[in-house]
Amino acid sequence: MADEFNSWETSSGLVDEYSGEVIDAHFGYKEEYRNGEALLLFLEIQTGDPELGEGGIITEQYPVGNGWETGDKGKTATHESGRAKKFNGNSGVGLLIDSIRDAGGIAALSKKGESNEAASYIGLTATFTRKEFSMKNPDGGDDVKWARMLVSEVQEGGKVKAASRSAAKAEEPVQEEAASDAKATDHKVPAALKIKLKKLAAECDDHDTFVERAYEIDGVDGNSAVEDAVGDEGFYATLKG
């Protein structure tokens, strides 16, 4: 039975679910995100609904993680080490890839190329659902919550579902994803350094500022485990409480 409209329920005000085809993809930077120094994967998704995005096209962005860059006008992402590396499962791109795998879409994409090649994502037709993440704050205070648009269903034949602005559809997976995000913020950071980072987080109004200032603290730069923690928005949210 279709859900009945209830005016006493509230919504997030955001599009919580839509379907569409990825018509373009590239790696690049955005000035508003970490001062334009952190690599992102941009997906342009044609939803077929002119009321969404720009003429029906929604652009989603997924952080690639620390140490990644692009030098060929966004066609590929390469690691600064010069070695072939897998994306971190806790990064935005890592969560996206895992969601595509869970929906059964990896085989089709892998035939097009590698995960670090933007063109591999073009043609993906899927339902994107706002996944809400929640975990208990180990330092006390309110639970830490955040969200990402991830693939919940891979579709064949280009069939596109209507967009939904109801948060109800996103509530069911929250409990399952919370366990995943608990892992995402479970970084091995020395206790003394964590205290300094916690103090810094309290002084910063956003994650970008936190990242920029964190590298001024001794023990952060050059320590890959700590760098990964600093780059994790969930870790920042946990510290900030």
The dihedrals phi and psi of 32, each to the nearest 5 degrees, come to -75, -15
Q: What is the pLDDT of residue 178?
A: 40
Q: Can you say whether the dihedral through the CA atoms of 63, 67, 68, 69 is positive or negative?
A: positive
Last residue of a domain, one of 141, 158, 184: 184
CA dist 211 to 12, 112, 119, Å?
Answer: 28, 34, 30
Do residue 63 and residue 151 come from a single domain? Answer: yes
Q: Measuring CA to CA, which residue among 36, 24, 23 is closest to residue 70?
A: 36
Cα gap 231→237, rounded to integer Å: 11
- Is 140 inside any structural domain? yes
CB distance 48 to 57 below 8 Å: no
Say if residue 170 is in the same domain as residue 227. no
111 and 219 fall within a common domain: no
Q: Does residue 166 surpass a pLDDT of 80?
A: no
- Angle among Cα 222, 227, 228 to the nearest 5 degrees reads 140
Domain assignment of residue 134, given as a range: 17-184
Q: Which amino acid appears at position 14 of this protein?
A: L
Same domain, 55 and 90: yes
Domain count, the chain: 2
What is the pTM assigned to this prediction?
A: 0.63
170 & 232 share domain: no
Q: Other CB atoms closer than 10 Å to residue 103's CB: what's the count?
A: 17
- Classify the C-alpha dihedral 75-79-80-84 as positive or negative: negative
170 pLDDT tier (thresholds 50, 70, 90): very low
Placement of tokens 């070695």 in the chain: 83
> Of 65-74, 78-87, 156-165, which range is least confident?
156-165
Claim to verify: residue 103 and residue 206 sit in the same structural domain: no
Q: State percent of the chain over pLDDT 90.
A: 39
> Are residues 102 and 161 both part of a single domain?
yes
Query: Do residue 102 and residue 176 come from a single domain?
Result: yes
Token pair, residue 235, equals 């870790």
Distance CA 151, CA 21 (A): 12
Residue 17 and residue 164 in contact, taking contact as beta carbons nearer than 8 Å: yes
In a domain, 117, yes or no: yes
Task: Give the containing element (helix H, strand E) for 61.
Answer: strand 57-63
Amino acid at 228: D
pLDDT for res 173: 35
Per-residue pLDDT of 70-109, as tens digits, reads: 999 999 999 998 898 999 988 889 999 999 999 999 999 9
Reported as a single tens digit per residue, the pLDDT across 18-31 is: 999 999 999 999 98
Give yes or no: residues 111 and 228 share one domain: no
Helices 233-240 and 207-214, axial angle in degrees (round to 10): 90
In this predicted structure, the answer to whether residue 44 has a pLDDT above a threshold of 90 is yes
Residue ending a domain, among 142, 157, 184, is 184
